[in-house]
Chain A
Amino acid sequence: MHGPSWPLGGSTQASALAQDWVIFTCGALGLAALVWGLIIFAAIRFRQTKNNPEPRTQNANNTALEIAWTIAPLVIVIGLFAYTYHIEAGVEALAADAPVRVSVTGFRWGWTFAYGGGPAITGNSLHPPELVLPVGETAAVTVTSSDVIHSFWIPDMLFKRDAVPGRTSTFDLTPNRLGTYIGRCGEFCGLNHALMTFTVRVVSPEDYARWRTYEATQ
C-alpha cells in the first residue's frame, strides 16, 4: 500500500478509466494552452503604449471567424463525447456470471462486505475492514447503505460508486495486479467521514480460496 499519490491502477476497468483521464487532461490542457496563449499575446501586443496610443479599429464583427470558433469547439466536444461514451460503456459493462459476488453496505462509519455464499466482513473507522479479491477474476460489487449516502471509492482504481439507502447499484471490478489498496468513503456522511476507510487486498486465486475456507471455519 502506498501513500496517496499518482493512482496505480490495478484493475482492467482502471486501465480504461486512466486512458480517459489522459485523453481529457491532454485535450483540456492543450486547448487551454492555446487560449491562454491568445489571451497573453493580445494582452501584451495591444497594451497602451506610445506606439499604440489609440485603438486601431472600432470594428467588432467578423462573421466567418465567429462561425469558425463556434463550429470547431462543437466538433471537438462531439469527438470527446464519442470517446467518453465508448470508455464508459466498457467500464460499466456487467459480466453475465461473475465468479465473485460482494454486497457492500456502508454505514456511519464503516463498511460490511458480504460475500455471496460466504463470510461477511464488518469494520469501522477504528478497525477498517478488508475486502479480499482474487486477481484476474471479475467481482460483481453491489453497493447500498443502511443510513445516509456514502460512496465506495478506491482511488488507485479511479472509481467510486455511491451507496444510497433504499437502492442497490452494481459494478464489475476485475483486479489485475496483486497488492493492497486503500479505499475510503467518497460522499460526505457526517462526523467521521474522513476516517471511514477500508482496504482492498488483491491475492492469487489460490490464496483467495484458502482465505474463503479459513473464514468459513471462523
Chain B
Amino acid sequence: MIAPPERHDVLSWFTSTDHKRVGILYMGTSLLFLLVAGLLAMLIRTQLARPDATLLGPEAYNAVFTLHGTAMIFLVIAPFGFGLANYLIPLQIGAPDMAFPRLNATSFWIFLFGGLTVFAGAATNDGAAASGWTAYAPLSEITVSAGTGQDMWIVGVAMVSVASIAACVNFVTTAFVLRAPGMTMWRLPIFTWEMIATSLLVFMAFPSLTATLLLLFVDRHFGGHAFDPAYGGSPILYQHLFWFFGHPEVYVMILPYFGVISEVIATFSGRPIFGYTGMVLAAFAIAGLSMGVWAHHMFTTGAVNDPFFSFVSFLIAVPTGIKFFNWIGTMWGGSIRYTTAMWYALGFLMNFLLGGVTGVMVASPPVDFQARDSYFLVAHFHYTLGGGSFFALFAAIYYWWPKVFGWFLDERLGKIGFALTFLGFNLTFMPMFFMGLFGMSRRVFTYPNTGALPGLNLVASIGAAFMLAGAIVFIANVVVSARRKVPAGDNPWHGYTLEWATTSPPPEHNFDSLPPIRSSRPLWNVEHPEAPQPP
C-alpha cells in the first residue's frame, strides 16, 4: 500500500491519525488547560493572600477550586502523560504508528470535548460545578447542587474517562505487538514500561469512575437513590466507588512521570538506568498495591478497616523507595550534564521526596485524623503531583522538544524559569503543611484573622507569584526560541533509546532504517561496537 502524501495544512490536524500529531494535540491541549487551571490557582492564592478578601464570594470560590482540581487532574497531568506516550511509545519501540491509529485520534477528540464540556458549565445559569473534583454525594446530588454545571461536569469527566481507557488500550496493544525485531519486553525503555503499568491501572480504575458518574447522573435525574440514605443508598458507597478509581488515578498521574525522570536522569548522567529489572518490577508493585489502598481516603469516616488500608499504603513506600535509590544509583558514577531538563528532574527528586514521606505520614490514621481535608493534605498532594508530576512534565518538555520540533528551547531562559518555579513552588506549598496542622480546612474562601494563618497564607501567595513569573518565562522562551529555531539535529542530548535514532522531527513513518536492537540502549551498542553485548 502506498501512503498518501503528507499534508501540513490546518485541516490535516483535525483528520490526522499519525501518533505524533495526536501526541502533539494531546500535549498542546493539556498545556492550554494547564494555563487555565494555573490562572484559576492564581485567583485562589489572590483570594487567600488576606483573610478577609472579597475578590471571590463563596459561590465563585467553590467553582474556581472545583475547576482547578478537575482540570489539573483530568485535563492536564494525566492527559499530558498520554500525549507523551502517544508520541514516544512507537518511536521507543521502533514502530511506524500506534496499533489503532483511528481509535487514537478518537480518544483525543473525546478528551478535548469532555474538557470543554466541564468548562462550558461556567456559562450556565447557576455557573460551573462547585462540589469539588471529588463531587461527593449527597453534596453533588440534585437536591443540593441543582445547577446544570454539575451535570456538564459529570458528562465531561465521563467523556474524559472513556477517552482515557481507549488511549490506554492503544498503548498496551502497541507495546505488546508492534515492537521492532530485537526489541524484547526486557529491552523496552523505562518510559514505555511505566506506560504499560499506567494503562493497566486505567483499565481497572476508570470503569469504576464511569460507573460512579453514571450512578450519580441517574440519581440526579431518574430517581436512582444510589447514594441517598433515605432509600437505602449510601454516601459511603459513593466514596468507595470514587476512591477505587481515585487512588489508582494518583498513580496514573505519577507513573508516566517516573518514566520521564528515568529517561532524563539516565541520558544526562550518561549511564543506563540503574537496576532496570527492579525499576520495572517496582512500577508493577506500585500499580498492584495502589489498587488496595483506596479507603485510606476514608479513615475519618469511621466506616472502613483502617489498619488494612493503612498497612497497604505504607507498603507502597517500598517500591517507591526502590525507584528513588535507582535514580540516585543512575547518577552515581555518571558525568551529569545540567541541562534545563536535568534541573527539572532534580527538582522532581527533591520535591517528590517530601510528597512521598508526608504520604507515609497521612497513611497513619492517627495523623490523618488531623490532616484529612486540611491544608496539610493540600500540601502533601501538591508535593507529589505539583512538585513531582508537574516538574517532570517540564523536564519532558525540555528533553523531547528538540525531537518533536527539530529546534531547541533556550537553555538560559529554561534555567531561569526552573529557578523561579522551584522557589515559588516551595514557598507556596511548604507553609501549607503548617496551615493544615494548625487547623485550616481545605476548600475555604476565608480563614480566621488570628494566629499564624494570615502570615502563612501571605507567604504562600507570594510563592504563587514566583510560579506565575516562571510560567511567563516559559512562554517567553517558546516565543523567543521559535524565532531563532536553533537546529537540534537527530540526537542533541546524546540519548541512547530509539527515538533518537531518527530525524528531528521524525518522518511520518518514523524510521527510514533501524539500528540493530541488542539492549535497552540500541544507540549505545552502535556507538560501542567493541563492548560485550549486554543481555
A residues lining the B interface (CB < 8 Å): 2-7, 16-17, 20-21, 24-25, 27-29, 31-32, 35-36, 38-39, 42-43, 46-48, 52-62, 65-66, 69-70, 73-74, 77-78, 80-81, 84-85, 87-88, 91, 147-149, 151, 153, 155-156, 158-162, 164-167, 169-171, 182, 184-195
Contacting pair A42 B451 (CB below 8 A): no
CB distance from B344 to the nearest CB of A (A): 13
Chain B positions 279-333 with a Cβ under 8 Å from a chain A Cβ: 300-303, 306-307, 310-311, 314-315, 317-318, 321-322, 324-326, 328-333
Using C-beta atoms within 8 Å of the partner chain, give the interface range for chain B.
35 or more
CA distance A159 to B368 in the complex (A): 9
- Closest B residue to A38 by beta carbon equals B328
Contacting pair B354 A91 (CB below 8 A): no
Chain A CB within 8 A of B364 CB: yes
Contacts of A3 in B (CB 8 A): 448, 450-453
A66 and B275 contact, Cβ closer than 8 Å, known pairs A48-B336, A80-B314: yes
A7-B439, A87-B366 given; 12 more Cβ-contact pairs under 8 Å: A4-B448, A46-B269, A46-B336, A48-B338, A54-B270, A60-B276, A74-B318, A161-B302, A166-B234, A186-B374, A193-B443, A194-B445
Binds A, one of B75-83, B132-140, B415-423, B467-475: B132-140
Contacts of B495 in A (CB 8 A): none
- Closest A residue to B445 by beta carbon equals A194
Binds A, one of B345-353, B391-399, B478-486: B345-353
CA distance A35 to B360 in the complex (A): 15
- Closest A residue to B446 by beta carbon equals A194
Counting from the closest, the 10 A-B pairs by CB-CB distance are A166-B229, A3-B451, A155-B439, A3-B450, A194-B444, A28-B357, A169-B302, A20-B366, A55-B270, A4-B451
CA distance A62 to B369 in the complex (A): 41
Contacts of A81 in B (CB 8 A): 307, 310-311, 314
Contacts of A2 in B (CB 8 A): 450-451
A194 and B441 contact, Cβ closer than 8 Å, known pairs A39-B350, A42-B331, A52-B335: yes
CB distance from B117 to the nearest CB of A (A): 23
CA distance A91 to B366 in the complex (A): 8
Contacting pair A77 B360 (CB below 8 A): yes
Contacting pair A73 B303 (CB below 8 A): no
From B310, B357, B438, B447, contact of A6 by CB (8 A): B438
Contacts of A156 in B (CB 8 A): 439
From B270, B275, B338, B438, contact of A61 by CB (8 A): B275
Contacting pair A151 B138 (CB below 8 A): no
Chain A CB within 8 A of B55 CB: no
From B329, B353, B438, B448, contact of A62 by CB (8 A): B329
Contacting pair B318 A70 (CB below 8 A): yes
Contacting pair B322 A186 (CB below 8 A): no
Chain B positions 349-381 with a Cβ under 8 Å from a chain A Cβ: 349-350, 353-354, 357-358, 360-361, 364-367, 369-370, 372-374
A60 and B329 contact, Cβ closer than 8 Å, known pairs A184-B441, A185-B441: yes
Contacts of B451 in A (CB 8 A): 2-5
Chain A CB within 8 A of B62 CB: yes
Chain A CB within 8 A of B200 CB: no
A5 and B332 contact, Cβ closer than 8 Å, known pairs A77-B315, A158-B370: no
CA distance A141 to B366 in the complex (A): 18
Chain A CB within 8 A of B278 CB: yes
Contacts of B311 in A (CB 8 A): 81
Chain A CB within 8 A of B442 CB: yes
Contacting pair B439 A184 (CB below 8 A): yes
CA distance A43 to B370 in the complex (A): 36
A–B Cβ pairs within 8 angstroms, 6 of them: A17-B366, A28-B361, A74-B318, A153-B441, A190-B139, A194-B441
